[in-house]
Chains A and B, each alone.
Chain A
Amino acid sequence: MTKNSYNTAELVAIMSARILEDGKIIFGGAGMPLISCVLAQKMHAPRLTILFEGGVIGPHIEPGKLPPSTNEQRAARRGNMHLSITDVLLLQQRGYVDYGFLGGAQIDQYGNLNSSFIGDADNPKVRLPGTGGANDIASLASKILVAMHHEKRRFVEKVDFITTPGYLQGGDSREKAGLTAGGIFRVITHLGMFDFDPTTRRMRLEALHPGAEVEEVQENTGFEMLIPDEIRHTDSPTEEELRILRELDPDQRYTRAKDE
C-alpha cells in the first residue's frame, strides 16, 4: 500500500474521528469506534474523554494493544475511574455524555439499528448477539454516530428489528415514544456522511468522500436517500492521519477493508 492510499475501513475511521470535538465525552465501543476516538485524541481532540460500557472512564489505550472487548483488563488500564456497568451507563441518562459511537449490522432510513435478529424475530434466519449497551447509548447519549460499510443489504428501508432506536418511524415518533433526548447525529460510511432531515427524520446525504458519486450512494442504499441541492465534499485522509491510524492498529484487526 502506498502511503496515501487507504482502504474503506480506514476512510470511515478517519472521517469519523474528524467530527469529534475536543473536550467532549464519548461512549466508544470496541473496534472501529474506539480507533476513531483515539485517532481524534491524537489529532485535534486531546481532551476527548472515552467511556466504555464495561465501566471505564478515560482509559489509556496503547497503540497496537487495542482491547478486543470494552469490558476487560486491557480496556480498564490506567483509567481515571472504574465504575459499575449500570453506573457508567447511567451517566448518559443524567446528560453527561455528548456522543455515543456505534456500529451496526443493519440500519434503516430513520437511523434505527438492528443487532438482534435477521428475518422474523419469532423465526429468525440468524439470531445475532443482541444489544449490549447499544440500546442504552442510542436512547440516552446526546448525539449518536454510526459507522458502517455502505451496502444495499445493510441500508434497508425498514430494519427487521429495532434493537437500537434512531428516529423510529420518523417525524416526532422518537419523542412520542418517550425518548426526549438524543438521536442519530451522523452515519459515516465509506461513501459519505449522512444526517437526518429535521422534519421527516429521513436519512439525507450530507457529504461525499473523495471519489464517491451521488449515484453510487443511491445504488448502494436500499431506500430513497434524500439528496440536498448542495453537497459538501470531504478532504482526502492525510498522511498523518493514516500514519497514526496504522500505528494504532498495525495488524489491521479493526481496519481491514470490508470489501477485500
Chain B
Amino acid sequence: MPRSYKELREVIENKDRGLREKVMSLTEAIHLIQDGDHVAAGGCHYSRTPMAAIWELIRQKKKDLVYSRSISSTEGDLLLVAESTKHVITSWFSPGVTWGVSRVMRHYTQEKLAVYEEWSHMSLGLRYRAGAMGIPFIPTRAMLGSDLLPRLPELKEMECPYTGEKLALVPALNPNVAILHTQRCDPYGNVQSEGLPFMDEDIAGASDKVIITTERIISNDQVRRSPDRTSIPFFKVDAVVEVPYGCLPHECYGYYEPNFNHMDYYVKLMMGKGPEGVKEYLDQYVYAPESWTDYLEMLKFGDILRATTDGRSVYND
C-alpha cells in the first residue's frame, strides 16, 4: 500500500530543514538506510551510478530493500547476489547492450528468487515526478495496450474527465532513501551536477531522505557564484559524503568514463559463472577491501588514468 499524503508530508515537515553542515563518512551516511526501505538510485545504466553507496550498503548487509532505478546495470546484479534486495523496479536490466543479457538477472527472475517489476522508462520517471510533486499519480498516453500494463496492478486506466480519452495513470513513487552521486556539492547539500541530469532531481524530491556522494565538496561561496547550476537544494539533502571516483567502474560525466577493462572482467565472470561468479566478485571487491580507497587500488591505476583522461576530454575542445 502506498503511504498516505498525510504520512508523506509529515516526514518532510519533521525533517530538519535548516541550513546546516551534513558532511559525514560513507559508513555514517549509509546508516540512514533501514532494512526493508525502498532505496532509489540516481544516474542511469552505467552512468553516475552511486556505486560507493551501493558498495557500502552491501557491506552493511542491508536486507529486504526495494531497489528502484531508471535503468539497472551491473550494480543490480551485485544487490541481488548480496541478497540486499529481492525486488527491483526498473525499465531495463543488464550490464549494457554490447555485453548481453545479465545471467544474474535471468537466474533470479526465472527461478523466482526476485521480482523484476518492469515499467517503461518514462512511466518510471513520471512516478518519481508525481512523488516529487506531492500528487498521487500522473496521467500518460504511454503503456496503453501493452502487456506491461496488466502485469502492474498499481497501474490503472481512466477516461479523461475533460476529453473522454483513455489514459494510463502512473502512481507516485516515494522512496524512503535516495542515493545520488554528483560532481559538486557544498557541505549543506546544494548539488551541482554536470552532464545528463537523468531522474536525480525528481528522485530527490520524491524521497524521504537523500544521501549525496560527491566527487568534490565545494564551498557554499562557489555555489552562490552559479546558483543557476544548483539542481537539488540543500534542505532536501540529509548526508553529504566526499567520494572521489564514487561511480567506478561506472562513469561520471566530465570526470571519468567507465573502467572498461574492469567492466569486461566483471561481465566475463558474471556471464561465465552466473551468481557464483558474482559471489566471488563480492568477496574480492566489496567485502575484502578495508575502505573505498582500498577498493580503488584494486581497479588498476592505468585503467583509472585512461578512464579519467577520456572522461575529462569532454572539456578539451
Is A246 at the interface (CB under 8 A from chain B)? no
Inter-chain contact B105/A73, CB cutoff 8 Å = no
Determine how close the nearest CB of chain A comes to the CB of B127; give it in whole angstroms: 9
- A 55-78 binary contact with B (CB < 8 Å = 1; else 0): 110000000000011011110110
Give bound CA distance, A55 to B71, whole Å. 13
Tell me whether A135 and B257 are in contact in the complex, defined as CB-CB below 8 angstroms, given that A68-B96, A177-B145 are known contacts: no
Verify if B140 is at the interface (C-beta below 8 Å from A): yes
Among all A-B residue pairs, the 10 with the closest Cβ atoms: A86-B125, A177-B145, A178-B166, A89-B122, A132-B92, A135-B120, A178-B144, A136-B122, A133-B121, A129-B94
Chain B residue nearest in CB terms to A52: B196
Known A-B contacts A71-B71, A162-B145, A174-B145; A131 and B47 likewise in contact (beta carbons under 8 Å): no
B side interface size, CB within 8 A: 61
A19: interface (CB < 8 Å):
no
Q: Mark A215-235, 1 if CB is under 8 A from B, else 0.
A: 000000000000000000000
- Please state if B145 and A179 are interface contacts (CB–CB under 8 Å): yes
- Is B198 on the interface with A (CB-CB < 8 A)? yes
Q: Is A53's CB under 8 angstroms from B97's CB?
A: no
Confirm or deny: A139 has a beta carbon within 8 angstroms of a beta carbon on chain B. yes
Minimum CB–CB distance for A33 against chain B, Å: 11
Binds A, one of B3-11, B18-26, B146-154, B296-304: B146-154
Q: Min CB distance, A82 to chain B, in Å?
A: 5
| Chain B 186-207 residues near chain A, CB threshold 8 A | 195-202
Interface centre among A31, A56, A126, A127 (most CB of B within 10 A): A127
Say yes or no for B91: interface residue by CB 8 A criterion. yes
A136 to B151, CA, bound (A): 17
The residues of B that contact A84 with a CB separation of less than 8 Å are: 125, 197-202
Known A73-B251, A139-B141; contact A131-B121, beta-carbon cutoff 8 A: yes
10 contacts between A and B (CB under 8 A): A54-B196, A73-B253, A76-B195, A85-B122, A86-B126, A93-B142, A127-B110, A132-B92, A168-B145, A177-B145
With both chains docked as a complex, state the minimum distance between the C-beta of B72 and any C-beta of chain A, in angstroms. Answer: 9
A121 and B147 in contact (CB under 8 A), knowing A73-B47, A139-B142, A178-B166?
Answer: yes
Q: When the two chains form the complex, which single residue of B46, B101, B122, B167 contacts A133, counting CB atoms closer than 8 Å?
A: B122
Q: Which residues of B contact A168 (CB under 8 A)?
A: 145
- Chain B positions 108 through 148: 1 when the CB is less than 8 Å from some CB of chain A, otherwise 0: 01100000101111110110110000000000111111111
Q: A68-B96, A127-B106, A178-B145 are in contact. Are A86 and B71 (CB under 8 A)?
A: no
Q: In whole Å, how far is B310's beta carbon from the nearest beta carbon of chain A?
A: 8
Q: Which of A30, A31, A82, A133 touches B197 (beta carbons < 8 Å)?
A: A82
**Which one of B70, B101, B195 lies within 8 Å of A85 (CB-CB)?**
B70
* 8 Å CB interface, A94-148 against B: 116, 121, 124, 126-136, 139-140
Known contacts A86-B125, A86-B126, A124-B110, A72 near B142 by CB under 8 Å: no
Q: B90 contacts the other chain (Cβ, under 8 Å)?
A: yes
Other-chain residue from A54, A74, A89 in contact with B257 (beta carbon distance below 8 A): A74
Q: Which residues of B contact A82 (CB under 8 A)?
A: 195-197
Residues of B within 8 Å of A161, CB to CB, are 147
**Are the C-beta atoms of B157 and A178 separated by less than 8 Å?**
yes
Cross-chain contact A54 with B91 (CB below 8 angstroms): no
B44 at interface by CB-CB < 8 Å:
yes
Task: List residues of chain A with CB within 8 A of the CB of B196.
Answer: 54-56, 71, 76, 82, 85
Is the pair A132, B91 in contact by a Cβ cutoff of 8 Å?
yes
Q: Are B106 and A126 in contact (CB under 8 A)?
A: yes
Q: A85-B70, A129-B92 are in contact. Are A165 and B146 (CB under 8 A)?
A: yes
* Interface presence of A43 (CB below 8 A): no
Q: How far is the CA of A121 from the CA of B149 in the complex (A)?
A: 13
Bound together, the chains give a CA A53 to CA B123 distance in angstroms of: 13
- A4 contacts across to B, CB distance below 8 A: none
Residue of B45, B90, B157, B254 touching A71 (CB-CB under 8 A):
B45
Partner-B contacts on A (CB < 8 A): 30-31, 53-56, 68-69, 71-74, 76-77, 82-86, 89-90, 93, 116, 121, 124, 126-136, 139-140, 161-165, 168, 173-174, 177-181, 253
Chain A residues positioned under 8 Å from B120 (CB to CB): 131-136, 139
A181 / chain B contacts, CB cutoff of 8 Å = 141
Task: Indicate whether B165 reaches chain A with its CB closer than 8 angstroms.
Answer: yes
Shortest CB distance A162–B (Å): 4
Q: Is the CB of A127 within 8 A of B123?
A: no
Q: Is the CB of B44 within 8 A of A54?
A: yes
Interface code B54-92, partner A: CB below 8 Å = 1, 0 otherwise? 000000000000000011000000000000000000111
In the complex, A138 Cα to B42 Cα: how many Å?
Answer: 25
Please tell me if the beta carbons of A127 and B142 are within 8 angstroms of each other in the complex: no
Name which residue of chain B comes closest to A56, CB basis. Answer: B196
Chain A residues with Cβ under 8 A from B258's Cβ?
72
**Please, which residues of chain B bring their CB within 8 A of the CB of A86?**
122, 125-126, 128-129, 199, 202
- Check if B199 sits within 8 Å of A85, measured CB to CB: yes
**Counting chain A CB atoms within 10 Å of each CB, which of B93, B141, B200, B201 scores highest?**
B141
- With A116-B148, A129-B94, A163-B148 known as contacts, the answer to whether A54 contacts B166 (CB < 8 A) is no
Contact among A126, A128, A139, A253 with B143 in the assembled complex (CB-CB below 8 Å): A139
Asked if B12 CB lies within 8 Å of chain A CBs, one says no
